[in-house]
Structure 1
Amino acid sequence: MNKLQCISPIDNSVYLERPLASPGEIQTALDNAQKAQTAWKQTPLTERIAITRAAIKNFTAKESQLAEELCWMMGRPIRQAPSEIRGFAERATYMADIAEAALADIRLPEKPGFVRFIRREPLGVALVIAPWNYPYLTAVNAVVPALLAGNAVLLKHSAQTPLAAERMVEAFVEAGLPRGVFQYLHLNHGDIERLVCSPAIKHLSFTGSVKVGAAMEYAAAGRFIGVGLELGGKDPAYVRADADLQYAVETAIDGAFFNSGQSCCGIERIYVQETLYEDFVERAIALVRQYRLGRPDDPETTLGPLVRVEAADFVRGQIDEAIAQGASAHIDPVDFPADKRGTSYLAPQILTEVHHGMRLMSDETFGPVVGIRKVRDDEEALALINDSEYGLTAAIFSSDLEAAEALGDRIEAGTVFLNRCDYLDPALAWSGVKNSGRGCTLSSIGYEHLTRPKSFHLKIRL
């Protein structure tokens, strides 16, 4: 099949089709990227920043259109979709704001007779492979700093969200970005792996599953290029006895169910100290019962469908299996009439009496369900939090900053939150440990992964 189809989860219709790039088109894109990057890296940084700011303005000017496309491509409720466009602008703007300082030469102490400094040079052509669940927010992390650093970028987006790649490139082209510096390609899996192996590619950024991430790393093996991988998580929340209970319920439940639970850093398991446990569960159930499951193009909908029928079936399988293993379900799907087996529409669910022998508490779920477990104290919570092959984020709810920070030091995760969750601050390094990936995006540290140090050791002859 030489084309991709985006099947909308709203009604299972074909929302759009796009031809896949031919081998000749792929090679042309590579050639154009290499040629354009040679000139782009010589373009003054102030000009690269100006073009980026103009692109951000072009992008956000189409917020309503982009939000509607998101709704139809991947099922985000229309009332929530615009927030991703604003998040894109926030992250891109921050990376532009810090670019001059982050990319400046590193000047060393004076040494008589010598001039010494370290310059950050762009890598060349970066390949960014982005997923469908947050198609703009995941792509912006790698694309914008790569461009600002002087690299050329090839963007391959999920077949579920091909318009996301097209709209991003469109915004930069309209801003005056030179031809070839930023391009998109619609590719099949075989072409992706061949592209990773191309000597023209000098950096790979991939966001997706552990299985595919391992395949990407294997394809790049032996090429000695930078590989950044964000591979998801099984992110925990821990509610200590000194937490603001209602705030913790509202924040953790939103972190679990926003985007129908299809967030890499969404909350997938909650541990609550025993003195608050019963009250927490009661309030969480009451809150989830207020969700409205339905078509995401309905402004009243607060919980949309999963991205495809197979995804909903996978989550249903985890729930059914957990219940068979002794878990208690607290939400009756009958209360959510849109829930129908064989469709992408799935009622939210809260499970208690859960344990780590259940896939629901150990494997990534990526759906609108969360398991809640009672714990005695910090030590039991810490053991359970770290009992995972993933380590993207972890959230603590507590009024004791000192205790939370000490606990955070012992948590195996790339980001530790206190009294919030499911958010990327662009000033902080975004990274994961264990099977959540490797590398870093965002913050000034993110630029280090998109450049190489070049030392200048200049002896002055008088």
Structure 2
Amino acid sequence: MNNTQITLSPVDGSVVAERPLSYISDINQALAKAEKAQLEWQSTALEERQNICSKAVDYFVAQKDDIASEITWQMGRPVKYSAGEVAGFEERARYMIEASSEALKLVTIPEKKGFTRYICKEALGVVLVIAPWNYPYLTAINSIMPALLAGNAVLLKHSAQTPLCAERMVEAFLQAGLPEGLFQYLHMSHENTEYLIQCDAIKHVAFTGSVPAGAVVEKAAAGRFIGMGLELGGKDPAYIRADADLDAATDTVIDGAFFNSGQSCCGIERLYVHEAVYDAFVEKAVALVKQYRLGRPDDPETTLGPLVKSSAADFVRGQVEEAVLQGAVAHIDPALFPKDEPGTPYLAPQLLTQVNHAMRLMTEESFGPVLGIQKVSSDEEALSLMNDSEFGLTAAIFSRDIERAVELGRQVQTGTFFVNRCDYLDPALAWTGIKNSGRGCTLSVLGFDALTRPKSFHIKHG
């Protein structure tokens, strides 16, 4: 059995990292260290935990140039944008450090004569975080930071495509003075990851990934009655109303669809445009997409890098080809992007019109640089199409009439609703999904709830 994990770069197929996979004995040893360290950590004052976590962020940010380069080579994001992930990591991490004082404070109960009553929030124990490659730091820190602040230990299993990210994060916390054993990474096979989920010491699992993989995680934990956060797939919609600021809407939606080569959990994957502005929008959108530069992501002029793997690009090619055969119209000539080559991860961006929900392109997650645009004649038609999905992560409406947009937003089946923006996670807001986009919540003060357990104190005097 091959016990080595080899990570190949989508940039040129070269080996980025080669790491031994953990054996069961390694996993058991890590668990023992985590349990021992957590017992003392949960008794450490919150102020001290905050101080260590803040120092970890300082150390991490100081390595931003090296980290950005590693992101580019591991998963293909253009170096022009990779440093932005470090900035996003810092924004979320520092917000959660600050928010922890409010999120973890005692819940006091109105005075009752002869009694003292309150609820404290206790750490769960050992938390397992299973993180993806597409935003390797942003997705992971959503759970890691509040878990540690709440007094838990964390074991991190990162994607096989981004193993260096796990190592970077653990290093930052150790350099900051976090006690050994509290935050560890494990490079593991799928089988051993399931073994770890089933271990008694694991009290919560935070997973980000595909719907099928989420089902495997949920099955592995079945019968253990532990907490679980699942951020799964998305097919996020946007709707441009007739009264929208068309220039601003076009810029925002196209960036929301094609940033990170479309490999964003909350990227725009389907668009509905009111017939009154439909033709004007398509014209503006086509012109904008033609300005992208597809190329090697280590080239500072590149604005669209490769997908993470050739198979991912071929999957999107298949969706596009099938939609065209069903009557969709493709507006971007791949010849404008010479780097686009079948069988490689380099894929030209594409806009399609004359699409409908009978096409996989409009219902199945693409996770690539493609956007289907459907004409609608009313708010009601747009709302019906937006909700016609197995997913519900984010949704956006563009309109100058904020009141009407919010009214429609209350009817959209989604975890996060945007007006006049998209594809952004505000750390002060709860990050959650409905339907097959998963369950649970990270970020905001609510994100701490899943990583603690309430304990009630009922004290009678005299």
Q: TM-score, normalised by structure 1?
A: 0.99
Deviations 1:217-265 (A, max 9, x none): 1111111100100002000010001100010000000000000000000
SS in 1 for 2:455: strand
CA distance in structure 2 between the aligned counterparts of 1:255 and 1:6, rounded to whole angstroms: 28
Alignment of 1:349 with 2:350, yes or no, is yes
SS in 1 for 2:66: helix
CA distance in structure 2 between the aligned counterparts of 1:59 and 1:377, rounded to whole angstroms: 48
Cα distance, 1:112 vs. partner?
A: 1.1
Q: What does 1:28-427 align with in structure 2 at a 5 Å threshold?
A: 28-427=29-428
CA distance in structure 1 between the aligned counterparts of 2:278 and 2:171, rounded to whole angstroms: 50
Deviations 1:328-372 (A, max 9, x none): 000000010000011110000000000001110000000000000
Cα distance, 1:401 vs. partner?
A: 1.0
Alignment of 1:431 with 2:435, yes or no, is no
SS in 1 for 2:315: helix
Residue 452 of structure 1 is matched in structure 2 by: 453
CA distance in structure 2 between the aligned counterparts of 1:412 and 1:315, rounded to whole angstroms: 26
Q: Which ranges of 4 or more aligned residues in structure 1 deviate by more than 2 Å?
A: none
Cα distance, 1:13 vs. partner?
A: 1.3
Q: Which amino acid aligns with 2:284?
A: R
CA distance in structure 2 between the aligned counterparts of 1:41 and 1:91, rounded to whole angstroms: 22
Cα distance, 1:436 vs. partner?
A: 0.1
Cα distance, 1:111 vs. partner?
A: 0.9
CA distance in structure 2 between the aligned counterparts of 1:121 and 1:147, rounded to whole angstroms: 12
CA distance in structure 2 between the aligned counterparts of 1:347 and 1:67, rounded to whole angstroms: 23
Cα distance, 1:183 vs. partner?
A: 0.4
Deviations 1:65-112 (A, max 9, x none): 000000000000000000000000000000001111110000111111
Which stretches in structure 1 are left out of the alignment for 5+ residues?
Answer: none
Cα distance, 1:23 vs. partner?
A: 1.2
CA distance in structure 2 between the aligned counterparts of 1:3 and 1:429, rounded to whole angstroms: 38
Deviations 1:160-188 (A, max 9, x none): 00001000000000000000100000000
SS in 1 for 2:459: strand
SS in 2 for 1:97: helix
Q: TM-score, normalised by structure 2?
A: 0.99
Q: Which amino acid aligns with 1:107?
A: T
SS in 1 for 2:207: strand
Cα distance, 1:22 vs. partner?
A: 1.3
**Percent of aligned pairs with the same amino acid:** 64
CA distance in structure 2 between the aligned counterparts of 1:26 and 1:235, rounded to whole angstroms: 37
SS in 2 for 1:28: helix
Cα distance, 1:113 vs. partner?
A: 1.1
CA distance in structure 1 between the aligned counterparts of 2:22 and 2:239, rounded to whole angstroms: 46
CA distance in structure 1 between the aligned counterparts of 2:442 and 2:423, rounded to whole angstroms: 16
Which stretches in structure 2 are left out of the alignment for 5+ residues?
Answer: none
Residue 23 of structure 1 is matched in structure 2 by: 24
SS in 2 for 1:178: coil
CA distance in structure 1 between the aligned counterparts of 2:174 and 2:397, rounded to whole angstroms: 43
Q: Which amino acid aligns with 1:123?
A: L
SS in 2 for 1:321: helix
Q: Which amino acid aligns with 1:399?
A: R
CA distance in structure 2 between the aligned counterparts of 1:315 and 1:377, rounded to whole angstroms: 30
